[in-house]
Amino acid sequence: MRCFALSLLAFTGLCSHLLGAVRTKVDLVNLTPEIKPGQTALIAARFRCDPHFHIYWKNPGDAGQAPSVTWSDKAGTTTSEFIWPGPGLLDQAGVMNFVYEAESLILIKVSIPDSARGDLLLKGKIEWLECDDAGCYPHEKEVTLALKVGGQNDAYKYDPKLYAELNPSLATTGEINGKTLRVTVPAGQKLKGTWFPERNFVTPNATFKQKHLGDTVDFSLVDATETLNSGPINFVTKTAEGGFVNIAVKIAAPAQRLDAPSNSSHGEWTPWSLEAQAKALAEGKIVYVDFTARWCATCQVNKRVYTQEAVLKALADHHVVMLKADWTKKDAVIAAELNKYGRTGIPLNIILKQGQPTAILSEALTGGEVISALEAVAAGKPYQASSITHPFVIWLLLAFGGGILLNLMPCVFPMIGLKVLAFAREAGASRHTVIKNGLLYSAGVIVSFITLAGLIIALKASGSSVGWGFQMQSPGFVLGTCVLMVVLGLSLAGTFEIGSSFAGIAAGAGDAGVGSFFSGILATAVATPCTAPGLGAALGFAMDKDRSTSETILFFTVIGLGMALPYLLLSIFPRLAALLPRPGEWMETLKQAMAFPLFAYALYLLWVLNALVDDAGWVRDASLGLALIAASCWILGRWAAPHRTDAERRYGRITAGLIFVGTLVYLFGSLP
């Protein structure tokens, strides 16, 4: 029961939102003592971060968002874009960011009109993202600044050397050798510091690993999200005097596209961005966008479509630009893009072409559908997946059938063995017992789906973006489920006997009817990362923002009925149950064998945790924690066995409990 409570608490934790206090002071300051009509003044957005906090440069790096300002009143003046000081490089467990810490001034040029007199009151809203090792917190603040035309202005001191845009630029050349960019250091310059790219033609990791070799600097172009055949190629770096300088690079040889398929049968995915999508569409190309995440099991299953020769050939023949929108960390920009298509979750696969309606594919992909959609878009014809044109009753049938097929999905497979064992034990039991347990199991599944529907409705009403399997975005829930899988697996392998705890009940170890009910809850909890064929489109329809509360609840109830149906039929019709083999020695073999799917699922969940949590040190601790939990289970099975003395059993339980509980307290207490 403790494991169930742990999972339930982690699941409930989805609904809590941690609001960070503002740890950065933000205002506008004037930098120009004498402000004259017809001339230009300098002001600045001043950011003062608390210790261990930072904000981001115009190119934030691997993660983050640059500050911005929106003016509500400029008093007749004209303002420039931000003029950025040179950044610093911050390595957070392998995540490379370009940041500012402590105090930083981001400059703004203000053109004063010829007719300006008296006071000029500037009003605006500054938005920024502040981060520390624990997380990131978006904030905004209304700011004002009064400028007096004349020479009576207080001027805040700043260092012009820190602003590359205010200093003379340096020009140089570069060349591409394979997937390496080699830039020649401008003659007579000593520029040994980090060269920061102003856009992502070099990845932040490649920026960190740049190599200074004599009078050249080498950068790897692998995994870059932008190519070098468009736009300026500028770097910013620190000078020997402590200032910053802009380096404009001219490529000596034509740059090669790094995101294009290398031949007719192989394509390469590049990270999605609004800019990359817009650029490809403006060039008249077909764009395929895969909205995906590492925790989304259905997304991973869909990817097998991209290994089919016919699909790869179609993508290459139509010169498709393939963009991957990775929503593993629930990026706000991608969430907004999903919302444009009426989606609150993934998977979502779309095909775009300038001037044509968007082709939205089914959530459960097939190679034939991808090819058909590509051909339609290439021919200038609208495309609509057949699965999203059905009347309401067809949606319900899809939901029902998808619920049945959920039992065959990889997320549910580990639970099937547990239920097979339970039904095998019941094969010789009374019909009343078998029917009762089947009904209670079905009730557990259906109640869980209705509860899930209610939670989704509540989160949607609060404005949150949620979708199928959304709890797998919660590190706490994933960790709790991972621990539960390890404990269940060790019990099945014979390391110890759970007895009457929840996990044992879920595995069918006891005869109590409540065990079957909780077994249904567990099956539902682990089923949600998967989407069965036919269910994906129905889920998208059910969770659409235009669906009513009653429709959403009905859909989830029907899914639950479908998932519970095979077990309900086995319990109601004894002849079907009688087809199962009688209990015997084979059950112990099957029981131990079924531990391995549980261990495999625990490894998958650990992989999901690695994607959700940026702190590699914590993921390492979680792996060691699972080993300690396994050790506690071994101690319990070894020293609390019935043949031991009372004292040995007591000390065995105490030792195992201390290790188990202590490990969980540490892992959940330090969870990023």
286 and 173 share one domain: no
Residue 115: count other Cβ atoms within 10 Å of its Cβ: 8
CATH code for the domain in which residue 148 is found = 2.60.40.1250
The conformation of residue 485, written as its DSSP 8-state character, comes to: H
pLDDT of residue 39: 92
Question: Which among 143, 31, 52, 156 is positioned nearest to 99, based on CA atoms?
Answer: 52
pLDDT of residue 17: 34
pLDDT of residue 3: 39
Q: What residues make up the domain containing 313?
A: 270-386
Mark which of 386, 415, 436 sits at the end of a domain: 386
193 and 134 share one domain: no
- Tokens at 656, concatenated: 């195992």
| Per-residue CA distances from 536 to 5, 90, 204, 433, 522 (Å) | 30, 40, 36, 35, 21
Mark which of 134, 158, 182 sits at the end of a domain: 158
78 and 54 share one domain: yes
Answer whether residue 87 is part of any domain.
Answer: yes
Question: Which among 381, 374, 342 is positioned nearest to 537, based on CA atoms?
Answer: 342
175 and 148 share one domain: no
Mark which of 123, 158, 193 sits at the end of a domain: 158
145 and 171 share one domain: no
Answer whether residue 554 is part of any domain.
Answer: yes
228 and 310 share one domain: no
- What 3-state class would DSSP assign to 182? strand
142 and 174 share one domain: no
Answer whether residue 76 is part of any domain.
Answer: yes
CATH code for the domain in which residue 325 is found = 3.40.30.10
36 and 131 share one domain: yes
CATH code for the domain in which residue 218 is found = 2.60.40
Q: Side chain identity at 396, as an amino acid letter?
A: L
Average pLDDT for consecutive 10-residue bins of the chain (672 residues)? 36 36 89 91 94 91 86 92 93 83 94 90 92 81 91 88 91 85 87 88 88 89 72 87 90 49 52 90 92 73 82 90 84 84 80 90 82 90 64 73 68 55 58 75 84 73 53 71 81 67 40 65 62 51 64 82 80 63 62 76 78 72 90 89 84 91 89 78
Answer whether residue 295 is part of any domain.
Answer: yes
pLDDT of residue 21: 66
Answer whether residue 652 is part of any domain.
Answer: no
pLDDT of residue 576: 63
State how far the Cα of 239 lies from the Cα of 190, in Å rounded to an integer. 7
531 and 549 share one domain: yes
Answer whether residue 221 is part of any domain.
Answer: yes
439 and 341 share one domain: no
State how far the Cα of 125 lies from the Cα of 74, in Å rounded to an integer. 12
519 and 577 share one domain: yes
Number of domains in the chain: 4
Answer whether residue 264 is part of any domain.
Answer: no
Q: The pTM is what?
A: 0.42
Answer whether residue 15 is part of any domain.
Answer: no
536 and 411 share one domain: yes
